[in-house]
Amino acid sequence: MAMEGESKELPEVLVLGPPWVFSTLESQFPNKFHYLKPWLSQLPLHQFLTSYAQSTQALLIPVSPPLNSPILDCLPSLKLVVTVSAGVEHLNFAELRGRGIAVAYAGNVFSEDVADMAVGLLIDVLRKVSAGDRFVKQRLQPIKPDFPLRSKLSGKQIGIVGLGKIGSEVAKRLEGFGCRISYNSRTKKPLVSYSYYSNVHELATNCEVLIICCGLTEETHHMINREVMLELGKDGVIINIGRGAVIDEKEMIRCLIEGEIGGAGLDVFEFEPEIPKQLFTLDNVVLSPHTAVTTHESFVGIAKLAVENLEAFFSNKPLLSPYVA
Amino acid sequence: MAMEGESKELPEVLVLGPPWVFSTLESQFPNKFHYLKPWLSQLPLHQFLTSYAQSTQALLIPVSPPLNSPILDCLPSLKLVVTVSAGVEHLNFAELRGRGIAVAYAGNVFSEDVADMAVGLLIDVLRKVSAGDRFVKQRLQPIKPDFPLRSKLSGKQIGIVGLGKIGSEVAKRLEGFGCRISYNSRTKKPLVSYSYYSNVHELATNCEVLIICCGLTEETHHMINREVMLELGKDGVIINIGRGAVIDEKEMIRCLIEGEIGGAGLDVFEFEPEIPKQLFTLDNVVLSPHTAVTTHESFVGIAKLAVENLEAFFSNKPLLSPYVA
């Protein structure tokens, strides 16, 4: 269990979840910390925390479930939360600030992988890569069949929703395809030459593809609603590698079924871990099980970053990837 | 049939095949030519040609079957062959030159679409886009499953085999992903900054991905043999959007099954229209039914180019996309 002798002198880190990446972290960076692992205990979580974590200063968590007040109430010494996600919608920053707790997050570790996946999903929706693979493998048949014509990517007008690090990486990649890039974000970026639209309606009206790269906040919740989808139009494509609830998922499904938008490539969903079954039968939809970040390289990268943030914290040095709300 | 009144005064074009794009060509550009359509006749082809095509100067053909001597012998007035493919392995240039017959081909019409597909196949193989879609849709299950970690594209060392128009378009796209580009071609390109390897063995040794962008000639037939694949190595990925027989397909299948290379994304196959069934069960292989060129945009583009080449020919103007062997 978590209390054995030799690791007692290492700095103590409470792990909840655990995050997917924790096994990578433990194996790649051994003997760095003494981990408290409540999931290995017979005790209920609350009792584990009040029994063993009263002096715990650092906490490592996944993106889900949300870090709530009852848990924080059990951790009176907590000073640092390290989350291994780029999205931070599971954290209440007002409360954490009030308790004097800092946050380190994934920063840009996943940005390239997520951007690669966004482009992969877009090519797949337009060019039917998955459908072609399925077609060949399932029908066991010679090629040059009645396979439908698809749509060209090069030259398309792409609308990036949220031009942060991930959105910028997506834009950089699609420039190489000769696409024309526009974007919507809270403010115009002074150093960026792409066309800026101050609201997502104008962006949708002027683009053939929307790529959702923003995080989930009160402002972005259901930002891509039925009206935006109708503005995007019947040949329009939506790619979502941000967060599911940025799109009104129920309306999106209706638009996809009724042909009011042309297709979608989705790595995230509004009510994860559930994916609406209505999406499974749609040929114009490519689904991905929230794997935009799951490469060997990014797992080693986030494990390293989490360790470095914890080491910085215990050495009273600045965090490497602090989240400033 | 092909001999009706009103179209008799239009320039005459013999169509063999017909090419896939012919219906687009006929519908998008009507009343340009009088087409001879032997497939609508009851006559055997040879008899049709000797009966109706003795004065035919222009011929429109698909990439398959090869244009052979017995057909050319039936067409004594032939001066132009228009093929709607970028590959020209179905044409015997020595014979055509000897008969004084010029060739117009697809030129660069397909280059962007083919390059887009090459990148789409590469992302799919590395990031398992098709497998993820299949996984979600077939298992009907919540996300975050036991889905395997994949490999990162950004930063990979990419070897382009054949840096013509398509290869250059592929390279341009992958630069946007932060990939490092090398290439092999008959000669070093003076204006290109990518690393040049004069033979494909050195290229394979120094790269993590090979993308086959060259045409099929005697020199390129089975250029990617077992030795090259072993040099590429067990994590190496092969993408083929060129021609199937550039790779020794039997050896590639063996390497894929035995884990001597890491994966493959294939739009073309050695013995088309057949695709080896052994490939169907391999999770590290993405298959595409020779659809790298099949977009609405490229079909309209090749139809337009074919018409423009024919118009130029009948007006004694230079061809728009002559093939110079």
Cβ-defined contact of B140 to A176 (cutoff 8 Å): no
Nearest to A120 among B123, B137, B172 (CB): B123
- Indicate the helix (H) or strand (E) that contains A146: none
Residue A88 vs residues A67, A93, A215, B119: alpha-carbon distances, Å: 10, 9, 8, 31
Cβ-defined contact of B136 to A291 (cutoff 8 Å): no
Length of chain B: 325
Contacts of B271 (CB under 8 A, 6+ apart): B244, B249
CB atoms within 10 A of CB A260: 17
Phi, psi of A106 (to 5 degrees): -75, -15
Cβ-defined contact of B149 to A289 (cutoff 8 Å): no
B290 carries an active-site annotation: yes
Residue B57 vs residues A293, B8, B70, B79: alpha-carbon distances, Å: 58, 15, 17, 5
The pLDDT tens digits for B276-325 are 999 998 989 999 999 898 899 999 999 999 999 999 999 999 999 999 87
Cβ-defined contact of A129 to B121 (cutoff 8 Å): yes
DSSP characters over B48-73: HHHHH-TT--EEEE-SSS---HHHHH
The pLDDT tens digits for A181-196 are 999 999 999 999 999 9
Task: Say yes or no to pLDDT of B141 above 70.
Answer: no
- What pLDDT band is residue A2 in, cutting at 50, 70 and 90? very low
Question: CA nearest A287: which of A302, A303, A272?
Answer: A272
Q: What is the pLDDT of residue B45?
A: 96
Q: Is A290 on the interface with B (CB under 8 A)?
A: yes
From chain B residues 127-166, the ones with a CB under 8 A of any chain A CB are 127-130, 132-137, 140, 142-145, 147, 149-155
Q: What is the pLDDT of residue B169?
A: 98
- What pLDDT band is residue A150 in, cutting at 50, 70 and 90? confident
Q: What is the pLDDT of residue B41?
A: 96
Q: What is the pLDDT of residue A263?
A: 96
* Radius of gyration, alpha carbons of chain A: 22
Q: Mutating which of B130, B157, B267, B299 best tests the A interface, going by the most A Cβ atoms within 10 A?
A: B130
Question: Higher confidence at residue A142 or residue A282?
Answer: A282
Task: Say yes or no to pLDDT of B2 above 50.
Answer: no
The pLDDT tens digits for A204-260 are 999 999 999 999 999 999 999 999 999 999 999 999 999 999 999 999 999 999 999
Q: Mutating which of B111, B123, B147 best tests the A interface, going by the most A Cβ atoms within 10 A?
A: B123
Pairs across A and B, CB distance < 8 A? 200
Cα within 13 Å of Cα(B80), Cβ side: 29
The yes/no answer to whether this complex scores an ipTM above 0.85 is: yes
User: What mean pLDDT is predicted for residues A95-123?
Assistant: 97
DSSP characters over B256-313: HHTTSS-EEEES--TTTT---GGGGG-TTEEE--S-TT-BHHHHHHHHHHHHHHHHHH
Q: Which residue of B has its CA nearest to A279?
A: B137
Contacts of B314 (CB under 8 A, 6+ apart): B11, B58
Q: Is B319 on the interface with A (CB under 8 A)?
A: no
Q: Which residue of A has its CA nearest to B284?
A: A133
Question: CA nearest A214: which of A244, A242, A188, A183?
Answer: A242
**Which residue matches tokens 């009510």?**
A271
Q: Mutating which of A114, A138, A152 best tests the B interface, going by the most B Cβ atoms within 10 A?
A: A152
A290 carries an active-site annotation: yes
- Indicate the helix (H) or strand (E) that contains B193: none
The pLDDT tens digits for B165-222 are 999 999 999 999 999 999 999 999 999 999 999 999 999 999 999 999 999 999 999 9
Catalytic residue among A173, A221, A290, A308: A290
Q: What residue ranges define each of the domains in chain B, with the CATH number in brackets?
A: 6-109+296-314 (3.40.50.720), 111-287 (3.40.50.720)
Q: What is the pLDDT of residue A64?
A: 82
Q: Is B273 on the interface with A (CB under 8 A)?
A: yes
* Most distant CA atoms of chain A, gap in Å: 68
The pLDDT tens digits for B127-137 are 999 999 988 88
Q: Is A273 on the interface with B (CB under 8 A)?
A: yes
Cβ-defined contact of B288 to A136 (cutoff 8 Å): yes
From chain A residues 155-214, the ones with a CB under 8 A of any chain B CB are 155, 172-178
Whole-number average pLDDT of chain A: 93
The pLDDT tens digits for B88-103 are 989 999 999 999 999 9
* Radius of gyration, alpha carbons of chain B: 22
Catalytic residue among A89, A272, A308, A311: A272
Which long-range contacts (C-beta less than 8 Å, at least 24 apart) are formed by A194-201? A194/A160, A194/A163, A197/A159, A200/A161, A200/A224, A200/A228, A201/A227, A201/A228, A201/A231
**Which residue matches tokens 């290229």?**
B203
* Chain A residues touching B116 at Cβ < 8 A: 123, 126-127, 152-154, 177
Q: Mutating which of B119, B179, B300 best tests the A interface, going by the most A Cβ atoms within 10 A?
A: B119
Which long-range contacts (C-beta less than 8 Å, at least 24 apart) are formed by B308-313? B309/B80, B309/B82, B309/B104, B310/B11, B310/B13, B310/B32, B310/B33, B310/B58, B310/B60, B310/B80, B310/B82, B311/B32, B313/B57, B313/B58, B313/B79, B313/B80, B313/B102, B313/B104
Contacts of B12 (CB under 8 A, 6+ apart): B33, B34, B35, B36, B55, B56, B57, B58
Q: Which residue of A has its CA nearest to B115?
A: A177
Catalytic residue among A12, A231, A243, A249: A243
Q: What is the pLDDT of residue B64?
A: 82
